[in-house]
Structure formats: C-alpha cells, structure tokens
Amino acid sequence: MEWYHYFSGFWAGMFLANFVPHFVSGAMGNRFPSPFAKPPGKGLSSPTLNIIWALFNLVLGYILFRAGKVSSDNTLSLIIFLAGITCMSIYLSKRFSTKDKE
C-alpha cells in the first residue's frame, strides 16, 4: 500500500469519530456545537443541523475508509485507522468538556 492509503485511513477514523457526538446529540434533540454555530465550534447548533453535519462526516469517513483500503488483512492500516479514531475522540472529549461552561 502507498502512504496516501494510510493517510486516508487515519482521516477516515477522524471523520467517523466526529460523526458520533453530532449524530447522538441531534438524534436526542439536543443542541450541540458545530462549525456552523456562532461562534463556530462554540455556539450551539440545532439538532437538525447536527444530524446533517454528522451524516456529512459519515459519508466522508466512509469514502476515506474505502480510499484508504482499511482491511483486517492489513494490521498497519487498522492501527492507523484506530489511531485516527483515538486522536479525534481524545480531542473531542477535551473540547466538548467545556461546552456547558462557555
């Protein structure tokens, strides 16, 4: 595999991890920060907008997952994909831990 397959796999993990909080918040009917809020990433967006943003992340993550050729046959591709999920999950946990205090 080429380097860009691993790069795509890493970003697939990032986008797929970002799908989760936006989708769950939107599906629960909760307002949640998104890039489209005012101020971006700090204000709260509507549940519907969060669902749309989540689905965008899901589609892009899936496209990158396929482009990255992530496979159980390639352990390194799985590790890099999971590293993307881990990095985004840790970032989101820190970023959104203060969303109610802003």
Residue 102 lies in a domain: no
Range of the domain at 23: 3-96
Provide the pLDDT for residue 84.
Answer: 98
On whether residue 13 sits in a domain, the answer given is: yes
Question: Does residue 35 fall inside a structural domain?
Answer: yes
Q: Give the whole-angstrom CA distance, residue 29 versus residue 100.
A: 16
Of the chain, the end-to-end C-alpha distance in Å amounts to: 44
- At residue 31, what are phi and psi to the nearest 5 degrees? -75, 145
Residue with tokens 């969303």: 99
Distance, C-alpha 80 to centroid of its chain:
15
Please tell me whether the overall predicted TM-score, pTM, comes out greater than 0.85 for this model.
Answer: yes
| Model pLDDT for residues 69-90, shown as the tens digit of each residue | 999 999 999 999 999 999 999 9
> 69 in the Ramachandran plot: left (φ > 0), alpha (ψ -120 to 50) or beta?
left
In a domain, 101, yes or no: no
Looking at the 3D structure of the chain, how many domains does it have? 1
